[in-house]
């Protein structure tokens, strides 16, 4: 499949709006994880995973600590997850995940961004497959792959690009894969989550379509209800 890994935080840090959006996403996800159990990450796996995820995307410690403190204080906020599918410019497909206290607002904002760039809402999930994705700084690709396989992990792909190893596993093996990697000394992740991966990647060659696609990605990244954007376009 050969999916090139990208650290979304690098692109998102380009503008104040994007930085604000990523901090909001991190706060909501960490808040919900802390509210769902013990606010101590040592005894709350979901919270620990959320913290690792957002630390890997350069979210400051004070943002993380405020979200945990807010949850510990019993603040009665509730966020509901949503998933929207769409056709974008140049034959692109999008799956957009949201976490919002107002799903009507989330849907409206996502639909507005899609239609503004010539796309439309529609079912595209068939073109994606869910995988557990674990990406971390390392270069010992062969050792990682061999150790995971010998640990009876259903590994779909292990790739190395620019000092980042990306492991794709069946979702049911995600937790076990993290345990094995932890035993190998992996403690921080660029990405550690289950997400939809495009079965086939395309390249947009038309310059107008490429411009619209890039602008659409930027617009979605700036929406504070959006937690993740997945597409089928080569970076």
pLDDT digits (tens, 9 = 90+) for 1-50: 334 444 444 444 456 777 788 888 889 889 888 887 778 888 887 888 88
pLDDT digits (tens, 9 = 90+) for 118-127: 999 999 999 9
Return the pLDDT at 47: 86
What is the C-alpha separation between 233 and 98, in angstroms, rounded?
A: 20
Interior angle at CA 109, CA 106 and CA 115, nearest 5: 135
Does residue 170 register a pLDDT over 80? yes
Q: Find the mean pLDDT for residues 52-79.
A: 81
DSSP state string for 152-163? T--EEEEEEETT
Q: Is the pTM of this model over 0.95?
A: no
pLDDT digits (tens, 9 = 90+) for 43-58: 887 888 888 888 877 7
């Amino acid at each position: 499949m050969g999916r090139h890994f990208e650290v979304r935080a690098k692109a998102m840090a380009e503008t104040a709006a994007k930085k604000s959006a990523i901090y909001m996403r991190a706060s909501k996800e960490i808040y919900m994880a802390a509210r769902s159990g013990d606010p101590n990450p040592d005894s709350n796996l979901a919270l620990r995973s959320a913290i690792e995820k957002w630390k890997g995307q350069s979210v400051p410690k004070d943002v993380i600590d405020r979200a945990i403190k807010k949850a510990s204080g019993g603040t009665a906020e509730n966020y509901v997850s949503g998933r929207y599918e769409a056709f974008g410019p140049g034959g692109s497909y999008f799956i957009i995940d949201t976490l919002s206290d107002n799903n009507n607002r989330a849907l409206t904002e996502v639909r507005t961004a899609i239609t503004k760039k010539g796309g439309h809402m529609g079912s595209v999930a068939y073109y994606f497959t869910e995988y557990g994705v674990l990406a971390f700084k390392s270069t010992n690709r062969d050792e990682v792959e061999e150790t995971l396989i010998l640990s009876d992990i259903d590994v779909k792909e292990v790739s190395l690009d620019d000092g980042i190893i990306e492991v794709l596993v069946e979702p049911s093996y995600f937790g076990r894969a993290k345990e094995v990697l932890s035993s190998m000394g992996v403690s921080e992740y660029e990405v550690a989550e289950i997400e939809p991966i495009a079965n086939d990647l395309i390249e947009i060659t038309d310059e107008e379509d490429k411009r619209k696609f890039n602008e659409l990605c930027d617009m979605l990244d700036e929406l504070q209800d959006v937690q993740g954007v997945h597409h089928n376009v080569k970076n």
